[in-house]
Amino acid sequence: MDSAPPTPPSSPPSSSPWLPFESRRRARDEKREAVLRAAVQLFLEQGYHRVTLNEVAERLNITKPALYNYFRGKDEILFECWSMGAELVDSVITEINAGSGSGLARLRKLVYAYAALMATDFGASLVRFDLRDLTERNAAVARAAKKRIDATFRDYIAAGMADGSINPCDPKLAAFAIAGSLNWIGHWYRRDGGLSPTAIADEFTARLTEGLAAAVPQHTIKKNKTPGAPQRRNPGRKTTGKKRTGGGPR
């Protein structure tokens, strides 16, 4: 009986020229973010109205039509740049609210994080971009986000007044003073300056909250416990240089 012909070796499965869905989405997200990073730098350097999509494309070494794979126009890019900054602030607030601490402690955390964000491109976009350049719908979203941030500053100040960590004050005016100082960082900060974002955040946190912080009650301060402070002796008692051996009072 003749043997069956040998089975031909199976050919390897043809590889798809398309990336898996998750990889394609991740690659698209990375390219989309690259467009935003290039655009926000140009908007901050030259001003939104002076920048063209051709310049954004040139900075990315792509063609202008390629930009339309990710955004429909320059105004959408502007809003997305602003949204990136707003999302960073929202994530900070969410993290602070999830933790514990007095109103003053939470306020200090927010001031520090917000000051550091103002020294970034997306953070600066929150205060450098004109909302009138957005569509009415997107401008409404931006105004609502600004109100939420302002309300958070007020809430932390009010909470600090309630728990005694912040001196009595007008939360609205205090929040305006703090936010106004922090927002101005986005206008004057330069990367080639002498201060880093963390150094600026440290300084602003100290300066903007020290006037609000309630004084520590004196009864909570233990005497002679300051690090490095010399121990005081009883001025009315003379030392003889003899070692005392008794355990009780003389």
In tens, the pLDDT along 8-36 reads 554 444 444 444 545 545 656 889 999 99
Confidence of residue 190 (pLDDT cuts 50, 70, 90): confident
pLDDT of residue 40 exceeding 50: yes
- pTM reported for the whole predicted model: 0.74
pLDDT in tens, 84-110: 999 999 999 999 999 999 999 999 999
pLDDT of residue 77 exceeding 90: yes
Cβ atoms 184, 204 nearer than 8 A: no
User: What is the average pLDDT across 211-229?
Assistant: 54
Q: What is the pLDDT of residue 235?
A: 44
User: What is the average pLDDT across 219-232?
Assistant: 41
Q: Go through 105-142 and write b for each residue having 16 or more CB atoms within 10 A of its CB, e for each that does not.
A: bbbbbbbbbbbbbbbbbbbbbbbbbebebbeeebbebb
pLDDT of residue 64 exceeding 70: yes
Give the 3-state secondary structure of residue 247: coil
CB atoms within 10 A of CB 66: 13
CB atoms within 10 A of CB 41: 15
Domains of the chain (ranges; CATH) run 80-214 (1.10.357.10)
CB atoms within 10 A of CB 213: 15
User: What is the average pLDDT across 28-45?
Assistant: 92
